[in-house]
Amino acid sequence: MRNISMLKWLGLSLVALVLDQASKLLIDSTMQLYQSIPLLPFFKLTYVHNTGAAFSFLSEAGGWQRWFFAGLALVISVVIAVWLSRLEKHETLLAVALSLILGGAVGNLIDRLAYGYVIDFLDVYYGTWHWPAFNIADSAITLGVVLMLAESFGLGKTKDEEEL
């Protein structure tokens, strides 16, 4: 049975999507490719294009990965939207997690379809060690996955729900 009221969480997906796309447009319009702007001793804005998946996985694969990852994001987005519609009202934490993942997946999907790459710009580092550059969509996906894992370990559940 579908619970249409849980689709209200698509609003959170939309917030993540709008923040992601607005930040990418701002970076693209104000920075040059590969330009870096130091902000903190461990963080800077660095404008890069990522043709691969997370952490530039398969970025040198020759182009087929654009359509593969776009198709994968589309399928995952549909699955998450259906999953959201089937959640029970008390499954709030899982709804938040899925909504963040959905917003992030669609944000990166838009980039892939529009440009053939994903715009990344958040650069965290320590000394010469750099975490691969990422964006708001990646952050939403990561936070969503963390919340989903926390929910699977019982966070956000009442005692009655844990006994089921």
Give the catalytic positions in this structure: 120, 138
Q: Across-strand partners of 4?
A: none
SS3 content of the chain, % helix, strand, coil (to 5): 60, 15, 25
- Cα–Cα distance measured from residue 101 to residue 89, given in angstroms and rounded to the nearest whole number: 19
Q: Are 2 and 86 in contact (CB under 8 A)?
A: yes
Kind and range of the H or E element at 37?
strand 36-40
Two tokens at 136? Answer: 């708001």
Separation of alpha carbons 5 and 129, rounded Å:
45
